[in-house]
Amino acid sequence: MGVPEPAASAEVLLAELLGVRRSELASYPGPLSEEQAALYEGWISRRVKREPVQRILGYAYFRNLRLELDEHALIPRPDTESVVDAALEAVDRRDGSCRVLDVGTGSGTISISIAQERSSCDVHATDYSEGALWIARRNAERAGAKVRFHRADLTSGLDALEGSVELLVSNPPYVRSTDIPDLAPEVRDWDPHPALDGGPDGLDFYRRIFAGAAPLLADGADVVLEVGDEQAEEVLEIGRCAGYIPLGTHPDLAGTPRAALLRWGSS
Ligand SMILES: C[S@@+](CC[C@H](N)C(=O)[O-])C[C@H]1O[C@@H](n2cnc3c(N)ncnc32)[C@H](O)[C@@H]1O
């Protein structure tokens, strides 16, 4: 199979090269300079080999942010924007201010968005990958967002936060290990596999997060977890068995349940 939506890729790359909106391309006045033409040709030949547009550019747009990327960080997905919406609704129920923990922050997608859009929050974020944390710190600095990053295996070693996290949010790896070879080349060959691989049934990280996060959570804490297609009910059930209260789901733009919503404790 060839490049999906090739015209869209070609237009996005050209618009980024020229520093204009895609909708302005048709009215762009001049021909490309020789340097621009050579650069563009190079970008197109990379895209033909299925390198994602965001890897070619070295950055991705997510909500209000332009996030730098490298091989250590997953490309932020538009679906995750709806997970941030669900998290912000939880923040707003707490008057726009609470302690947040984003587990597996990657390029800082969720944590930086929350810190930027609700600046009264005390936002913490973890990742196991030093490389991802390095990129996330740079992205937070550039966005002027205050996030405290921790290198951690999910929620381990964060004893200082014990009993105080009011919103736990995560987009954990959730692809079944055996499905990884069948993913589109843009994902399989370019996203870091530790950011994708959710174990034999894709649900390993949910079990580990539910078990490990409990000591960090305040009574009544909200939990917002991105889920893959058709995983929401299973994730809610895993949470219920681990002592959380399942609240429901939050849809993405296509109407697919994209976040599982739960509460910890009695209130
Ligand atoms: C699906 S990616 C999500 C990245 C980012 N939150 C986003 O939405 O774009 C999962 C992230 O979890 C991180 N991760 C994987 N295993 C981890 C672990 N044991 N502890 C902490 N982070 C982990 C990966 O490095 C990756 O950044």
For ligand 1, the distance from its centroid to the CA atom of residue 49, given in whole angstroms, is 26
Ligand 1: atom nearest CA of 153 is 20
User: What pLDDT score was predicted for residue 159?
Assistant: 96
Does residue 61 lie in a domain region?
A: no
Domain shared by 43 and 80, yes or no:
no
Q: Do 89 and 15 share a domain, yes or no? A: no
Who lines ligand 1 at CB under 6 A? 74, 76, 80, 104-106, 109-110, 126-129, 132, 153-154, 171-173, 194-195
By CB atoms closer than 10 A (0-12, 13-18, 19+), residue 34 is exposed
166 and 109 co-located in one domain: yes
Q: Is residue 59 part of a domain?
A: no
Q: Who contacts 66 (Cβ-Cβ below 8 Å, separation ≥6)?
A: 59, 60
182 lies in a domain?
Answer: yes
Instruction: Give per-residue pLDDT as tens, 221-233.
Output: 999 999 999 999 9
Question: What is the reported pTM?
Answer: 0.96
Q: Is there a domain that residue 171 lies in?
A: yes
Residue 4's Cβ-side half-sphere holds a number of Cα atoms within 13 Å equal to: 6
Full domain range(s) for residue 243: 74-264
What ligand 1 atom has the least distance to the C-alpha of 194?
15
Q: Is residue 63 part of a domain?
A: no
Q: Are residues 82 and 21 in the same domain?
A: no
* Judgement on whether residues 178 and 242 belong to the same structural domain of the protein: yes
**What pLDDT, on the 0 to 100 scale, is given for residue 255?**
97
Q: Which residue has the tokens 């950011």?
A: 195
Mutate to test the pocket of ligand 1, among 80, 84, 102, 128 (most ligand atoms within 8 A of CB): 128
**Whether residue 41 is found in the same domain as residue 153:** no
- Where are the alpha helices (H) located in 26-129, listed in sequence order? 34-48, 53-57, 78-92, 109-117
Q: Are strands 257-264 and 217-226 parallel, antiparallel or unpaired?
A: antiparallel
Residues 178 and 106 in one domain: yes
The number of folded domains in the chain is: 2
Residue 158 falls inside a structural domain: yes
CA pair distance 74, 179, nearest whole angstrom: 17
- The parts of the chain modelled with pLDDT lower than 50 are none
Please check whether residues 132 and 238 belong to one and the same domain.
yes
* Residue 74 CA to ligand 1 centre (angstroms): 8
| Residue with CA nearest ligand 1 atom 26 | 195
Would 62 be classed as within a structural domain?
no
Residue 175 and residue 244 share a domain: yes
Please report whether residue 229 resides in a domain: yes
Residues 45, 91 within the same domain: no
In angstroms, what is the span from residue 241 Cα to ligand 1's centroid? 24
Phi-psi group of 136: left, alpha or beta (phi > 0 → left; psi -120 to 50 → alpha; rest → beta): alpha
Nearest CA to ligand 1 atom 12: 104
Does one domain contain both 33 and 155? no
